[in-house]
Amino acid sequence: MGLQLLMETSSFDYEVALRSATGSDGELGPVVAQNIRAEGFDGVAGLVSRCLAEARHGVADLESIVVDRGPGDLMSLRSGIAYANGLAYARKLPVAGFDSLELMARCVPEERPVLAVRKHARRTAFARLFVPGAAPQYVDGELDDLVEHVVGPAKVDDLVVLGAFRDELAERLGAEALAVDAPSVRQLADLLDEREPEFAVLARVITEADPMFSPVREPLRAER
C-alpha cells in the first residue's frame, strides 16, 4: 500500500508522520517531532528517517509528500520544503501543500468564525478570516491595521483568534483567544481526509508575495 509523507515545518517544532492512504479516511501513523533548537537535532532528514524506521518502511514505500507551505518561520519552511522537493525529485514523487492558516483554523469547530494569524515581522502579520457562509479572506499588514480592518465596521460574533498576537487581538476585537501557535501534521491528515490536494512537481513556500494575500487597505467585511 502506498504511503504519504506528511511534513509540518512552519515553526521551530518540526513534525513528520506517515499516512496510510491517498484517498479519504487514511490512517495516520505515529508522529515524530523535535524542536530544531533541541540538542541532538539532526535535521528534517533525520526526523523522516526515524519516522520511516519506526513504521518499518523505507522511502521506496512512499507514494506522495504533503507539506505545510506556510506562512510561518521562513527559514524553517525553506528547510523543510527544500527537503521535500529534493526527496520528491529523487524518488519521482508528487508533492502538494496546504497553507498553515487554513490548517490552524481546523482547531475550531466549523460553525464558528476564525481569525488565524502568523507573525510576519515585528508588528506585522499574515491573517486569514473565515466566517461560515463566506469565502475565506487572506491579508498581510501592520497589526494595528488588521485590528481596524479585519472585520470592518461590524463586530463578528463568536470570533475565535488563534496564532500570533492572539491575546492582544482577542482583547481588541472582543473575541476568544485559543492557544494554538502552529499547525500539526494531524491537521494535515484531517484535511486530506476531506479533499484531494493539487499535486505538483515542486512545493513552493508561501510568503507575502503570494497572490493569495492582499495588503490591508479596505475593511474585510464578513459576507453572510
Q: Which of 62-71, 113-122, 128-137 has the lowest mean pLDDT?
A: 128-137
pLDDT at residue 224, as a whole number: 36
Each domain of the chain, given as residue ranges in start order, spans 3-99+183-194, 101-181
SS3 200: strand
Quote the percentage of the chain above a pLDDT of 70: 89
Is residue 199 helix, strand or coil? Answer: coil
Task: State what percent of residues in the chain have pLDDT above 90.
Answer: 62
pLDDT score of 219 more than 50: no
101-181 folds as Nucleotidyltransferase; domain 5 (3.30.420)
> pLDDT by residue (tens digit) across 96-105?
999 999 999 9
Question: What is the CATH architecture assignment of 3-99+183-194?
Answer: 2-Layer Sandwich (3.30)
Helix (H, G, I), strand (E, B) or coil at 28: strand
> Using CA atoms, how far apart are residues 178 and 182, in angstroms rounded to an integer?
11
Cα 42 from chain centroid (whole Å): 23
Residue 12 C-alpha from the chain's centroid: 13
Out of 55-64, 143-152, 179-188, least confident range: 143-152
Distance, CA of 72 to CA of 219 (rounded, Å): 24
Supply φ then ψ for residue 13, to 5 degrees: -100, 100
Same fold, 3-99+183-194 and 101-181: yes
pTM: 0.90
pLDDT exceeds cutoff 50 at 153: yes
